Structure 1
Amino acid sequence: MGRLSGKIALVTGGSRGIGEAIVIRLAEEGAHVAVNFTSDSSREKAGSVVKQVQALGCRAIAVQADVGSKDQVLRMFDAVEQSLGPVDILVNNAGVAPFESFMKIQEETWDRTFNTNVKSIFLCSQRAAASMIERRYGKIVNVLSTASLVVTSPVIPHYQSSKAAAHMLTKGMAIELGKFNINVNAVGPSTVDTDMCTDFLADDEIRRKEIEANPMRRLGTARQIGDAAVFLASDEAMQVNGHLLMVDGGLSVKAAQPEDHMER
């Protein structure tokens, strides 16, 4: 029996990268999982993740929704509840990180970043919490970033602002929802070698600098983030609330050096 046996989980942006790793770890611990994806181009990948969950003996569905749209979020939850049941564990993982310096950021980029990285947490958590409150049980885990705490690059101020906002939202929800036995926490990865960072890390010099800048002298892995999410979603973390668990090798407690990042 896994730590999450029989629980129903929903992972936004669950078709690839960190999201996929979280889905698999939840299923390995016995959870039935809804895999959210946004675009038609991700449909096949989401289907593949569903098959991986099913191979582990758990139920799973893929559900398409733009989690920055209230109407689509509501339809997504309806579909999950009809197929799997009420959501016990919500992992708000969907995120974007377009690289643009402050003076070049377009309003469209700013809005898309905040819609995906902050508004989606608000919309999905509010809908999930309505059911969790009735059942006096729930786990909400938000996937944030080292950028929630420190400036990690000169070319993502919109991303850093959105992750800092999501950090405060996590704390606010934790205070309000805790009395209903709902734990709200977050995971903070540093750079993880997934498809979101493929282009960025393709430059050998940038990859080297990323590794050298980290106190552990290595990049994080998606599975490590999945491990942290499983802990926060489990009853082992019943008294952990409003916490940002950094999985960044100590990067967020290290003074930044000018050579840590290269502006592109």
Structure 2
Amino acid sequence: MSRFTNRNVLVTGSARGIGAAIVRRFAEEGANIVINYLGDSDREAAAEVQQEIAQAFGTKVILVQGDVGKKADVENMFAEAERELGPIEVLVNNAGVAPFEPFLKVTEDTWDRTFETNVKGMFLTSQRAAPSMIERGYGKIVNVASTASLLVTSPVIPHYIASKAAAHQLTKALGIELGKHGINVNAVGPSTVETDMVKEYLQDEQIYQQEVEANPMKRLGTAKQIADAVLFLSSEEAMQVNGHLLMVDGGLTVKAAQPEDHMDH
């Protein structure tokens, strides 16, 4: 099955974790891939994903460095991708940050950086991708949101929660504006997934068990499960799905919150 043969797909923040899982799944189904990474510290990981995909699936894979929160970087990312592959047909806004700080200790820099990456980055990349999608009458934009888009999931990430709620609303707004041009804009909402972003957090066995017990499925999600949902929303099977947040959370957001969740940590 090759649902994305010769489609050009750009995934932001795809050197590792959920982003890397997403590009692997697209490559499995024939897509040409643009792997975006932030800085020099991520280049080696991005290159490893690039090599793995090229060897396993034989698709075209390029690396583009850039900070999604900087307009000049976004312009350079897309210009390079278009030069190498052609117009981007599927954009997955995966890049995100989640520094753990309780509200009274959140600095202005932390707040600004969180919104710059998680919301402004989504705005800038979508705005850059949209014109060529409009011209072609086809395009898919999938934003990686969170359970925090719907619930206050922890008292130590108020900036992250606010940013992911904004990402949810932005998804709906873009779905309305771009839908008439044949562009589907949707989002996925993962619960806790074992990636580098939360590796240190989950090293505490008590916290790990609390996360598992809090989930109705009694397990954590996987990066591949999130990637599978992204592929669905990017596929022809989801042509009439627009402005939607697909929760991939084991039912976490449909159950009552547990009292004092996470408060000890």
- Aligned length in residues: 264
After superposition, give the CA deviation of every residue in 1:17-71 in whole Å (9 maximum; x if it has no partner).
0000001001111111000000100001111111122121110001000000001
Deviation at 1:185, TM superposition (A): 0.2
SS at match of 2:168: helix
> Could you tell me which residue of structure 2 aligns to residue 19 of structure 1?
19
> Could you tell me which residue of structure 2 aligns to residue 185 of structure 1?
186
> Could you tell me which residue of structure 2 aligns to residue 150 of structure 1?
151
TM-score normalized with structure 2 length: 0.98
Q: 1:229, 1:57 → 2: CA distance?
A: 21
* Paired AA for residue 25 in structure 2: R
After superposition, give the CA deviation of every residue in 1:225-250 in whole Å (9 maximum; x if it has no partner).
00000001111100000000000000
SS at match of 1:94: coil
Structure 1: tracts of 5 or more residues without a match: none
After superposition, give the CA deviation of every residue in 1:200-247 in whole Å (9 maximum; x if it has no partner).
000000000000000000000000000000001111100000000000
Q: 2:2, 2:264 → 1: CA distance?
A: 44
Following TM superposition, where does structure 1 have runs of at least 4 consecutive aligned residues deviating by more than 6 angstroms? none
What does residue range 94-113 of structure 1 map to in structure 2 within 5 Å? Answer: 94-113=95-114
Q: 1:17, 1:192 → 2: CA distance?
A: 9
Q: 1:88, 1:112 → 2: CA distance?
A: 28
Deviation at 1:259, TM superposition (A): 4.8
Q: 1:148, 1:20 → 2: CA distance?
A: 22
> Could you tell me which residue of structure 1 aligns to residue 90 of structure 2?
89
After superposition, give the CA deviation of every residue in 1:104-161 in whole Å (9 maximum; x if it has no partner).
1000000000000000000000000011011110000000000000000010110000
> Could you tell me which residue of structure 1 aligns to residue 51 of structure 2?
51
What does residue range 199-210 of structure 1 map to in structure 2 within 5 Å? Answer: 199-210=200-211
> Could you tell me which residue of structure 1 aligns to residue 77 of structure 2?
76
Q: 1:90, 1:64 → 2: CA distance?
A: 16
> Could you tell me which residue of structure 2 aligns to residue 240 of structure 1?
241
- Residue 34 of structure 1 pairs with residue 30 of structure 2: no
Check the 8 A contact 1:36/1:64 in 2, yes or no. yes
Q: 1:14, 1:194 → 2: CA distance?
A: 12
Q: 2:51, 2:180 → 1: CA distance?
A: 37
Q: 1:67, 1:86 → 2: CA distance?
A: 18
CA RMSD of aligned residues (A): 0.8
Q: 1:11, 1:114 → 2: CA distance?
A: 19
Q: 1:68, 1:51 → 2: CA distance?
A: 27
